[in-house]
Amino acid sequence: MSGTAVTEFTSVQSQYEAQVAADLERNVAEQKRLRGEIASLQGQLETLERDRALLLGVQRVFADGAGTDTARSARVPGQRTAKRPAKGAAGKRPSLAQLVGTLLAAHGEPRSAAEVSGELAAAHPGRNSDVNVVRNALEQLVAKSEAYRTKQNTSVFYSHAGRDAAAPAAD
C-alpha cells in the first residue's frame, strides 16, 4: 500500500471510530432517558393499581347494601354485575349492617369483628364477609348507637345496644 492509501485508510477508520463512539454515547443517553420514563410509568401504574383495589372495595360495600341506589348503579367499565331479585318486600336483601346487627343481637357477650365475620360467612355465604367490611358495618352501628364498642388491650369487641346489660364505658 502506498503512503497516501494508508493515510486515507487511517482517516476513514478514525472517522468510523468517532461515529461509533458518538452512536454509543447517544445509545447510553437514550437508555437512561427511557429508564427514567419507565420508572415514572411504573410508579403511575402502581398508584392506579392501588386506586383500583380501593375502588373495588368501596364498590363491594355499595353492592352489600351500604350505599345509595345511585352508588349501586355505578359500575366499573367491563365489569358484569350479578342479577338481583326484583325489588319489593320479598326480594329486597337486608343491608350488611342489618345482618351484622342481627348477629350481634343473637349473642349475650361482646364479639370481635373476626368472630362476626365468620358467623356471617356461615349464615350468609353469598354475602361479602371480609373482616374489614364487617368491621366497617360494625362501626356504622356504633355511630348510630345501635352497638357498643369496647377495647381490651389491643382487641376491640362489639355488642348489640339492645341488650339489657348496661352500656359499656365509652373509649
- Of the candidates 62, 67, 73, the residue with the CA atom closest to the CA atom of residue 128: 62
Cα(168)–Cα(30) distance, rounded to whole angstroms?
66
- C-alpha to C-alpha distance for 167 and 158, rounded to whole angstroms: 11
- CB contact burial 51-69 (16+ within 10 A = b; e otherwise): eeeeeeeebebbbbbbbee
Query: Which residue reads 463512539 in cell numbers?
Result: 21
In the beta sheet, which residues pair with residue 157?
Answer: 150
pLDDT per position as a tens digit, 93-118: 888 888 888 888 887 789 999 998 99
Task: Give the model confidence (pLDDT) of 47-70 as tens digits.
Answer: 898 888 888 888 888 787 654 444
Q: pTM value?
A: 0.45
